[in-house]
Copies of this chain bind each other. A is one copy, B any other.
């Protein structure tokens, strides 16, 4: 069968599955999640054997040790997936929630009710545990899911997806709720991106080039989880010890993630007090600093930043620093060079703070806290499928609720339009 036909069949099957999924009760869905957890445990040896195939191929293909590490399904990681399934089972099911209800003067009663989106495509890279996490969240919200993982994890991903589907079926999960594209042919991604009859949403999770490619091809709606070029602005009214502590945390606590700080902005009238000690703290973490002219004057170990630095997501122990005239300049910089992810102000002046929070056009804006909190679990959502850098449908951390849409249910007694 050619790739196009193969992917379109998967799409049609997923659409049919989504109709059946909508009929499952929350209790039934939770039993199914538990059955998936048990099946993953029962197939642990098989999954690890399949994972070994990927690891062997990866070593032969010359993957870095970091990539091989991300690929490996240790016992701990399988335990993590099993626990994840059980955690999702206990989360509140958003499907069926009445978002609002009102009556019209003609007696019509209108209910705005939360419903599944339908069929969701997840296109992701490397980590095979994404297969389990993403499928669990889609299933809990009664969405059928079509997964497309990276070619280096194809055996691991297939084993996980098949175990979940098989385990679920023992407790009455409809066929084809969880499907993985079984080919590594790149044409499959294009077909997915354009099968508007079957797919309601695509969520790409991965590097910039993957997301750009999906955007270029997609006719299906896409919610992007794009780069995080996150800023912290230290205002003249900042409490300096707090600013040092938060900036250190935002950059150094886990530099390889999207909510880590990439650029530090400092008010010019506080730079001489703030930067030298800040530079020492960063030196202690081996942070490489790329600064504008004023920063380089104050920090002897800083190297000059280029224009490109201001838009770069380092996801590493590298930081760009710029001295700005005031909060207006900070906002202007963030709205120009940032990625609309997470940005913070450290300040005690209320007027300045309110201006920053209002005018910075990002999914999450902070006052006096680390940008590292932009995360479904930290927000209390229980789980997240990712962090949207888009503005439509979902912005910021996406939990279960963001995997649903709504419909209007209108109850009448014979009303007609006059």
**CB–CB B390/A221 < 8 A:** yes
**CB–CB B364/A417 < 8 A:** no
Counting chain B CB atoms within 10 Å of each CB, which of A108, A250, A363 scores highest? Answer: A108
Q: Does A22 contact B (CB under 8 A)?
A: yes
**CB–CB B380/A102 < 8 A:** yes
**CB–CB B392/A221 < 8 A:** yes
Residues of B within 8 A of A155 (CB): none
Q: Does A39 contact B (CB under 8 A)?
A: no
Least Cβ–Cβ distance between A373 and chain B, in angstroms: 6
**CB–CB B405/A391 < 8 A:** yes
Q: Does A411 contact B (CB under 8 A)?
A: yes
Counting contact residues on chain A (CB < 8 A from B), the size range is 35 or more
With known contacts A359-B23, A392-B201, A411–B368 Cβ distance under 8 A: yes
CA distance A412 to B345 in the complex (A): 10
**CB–CB A412/B366 < 8 A:** yes
Smallest Cβ-Cβ distance to A362: which chain B residue: B407
With known contacts A19-B359, A200-B391, A369–B410 Cβ distance under 8 A: yes
Residues of B within 8 A of A91 (CB): none
Q: Does A10 contact B (CB under 8 A)?
A: no
Give per-residue flags for A395-410: 1 if the beta carbon is below 8 A from chain B beta carbons, else 0. Answer: 1110000000111111
**CB–CB B393/A249 < 8 A:** no
A12-65 residues at the B interface, CB under 8 angstroms:
19, 22-23
With known contacts A110-B379, A368-B413, A410-B373, A216–B215 Cβ distance under 8 A: no
CA distance A330 to B337 in the complex (A): 53
A185-222 residues at the B interface, CB under 8 angstroms:
196, 200-201, 215-216, 219, 221-222
Residues of B within 8 A of A395 (CB): 405-408
Q: Does A365 contact B (CB under 8 A)?
A: yes
Which of B222, B390, B417 contacts A373, CB < 8 Å?
B417
Counting chain B CB atoms within 10 Å of each CB, which of A368, A379, A396, A410 scores highest? Answer: A410
Counting chain B CB atoms within 10 Å of each CB, which of A250, A362, A390 scores highest? Answer: A390
**CB–CB B365/A410 < 8 A:** yes
Residues of B within 8 A of A221 (CB): 221-222, 390, 392
Can you list 17 contacts pairing A with B, beta carbon distance less than 8 Å?
A19-B335, A23-B358, A221-B222, A221-B390, A246-B414, A363-B408, A365-B409, A366-B410, A366-B411, A368-B412, A369-B411, A369-B413, A370-B412, A370-B415, A378-B417, A396-B407, A396-B408
New A-B contacts (12) at CB < 8 Å, excluding given A365-B410, A396-B407 = A19-B361, A22-B359, A200-B392, A201-B392, A221-B390, A246-B416, A365-B408, A367-B412, A369-B414, A369-B415, A373-B410, A396-B408
Q: Which 8 pairs across A and B sit closest by C-beta, in order of nearness?
A: A369-B412, A249-B416, A372-B417, A393-B393, A392-B393, A364-B408, A242-B414, A368-B412
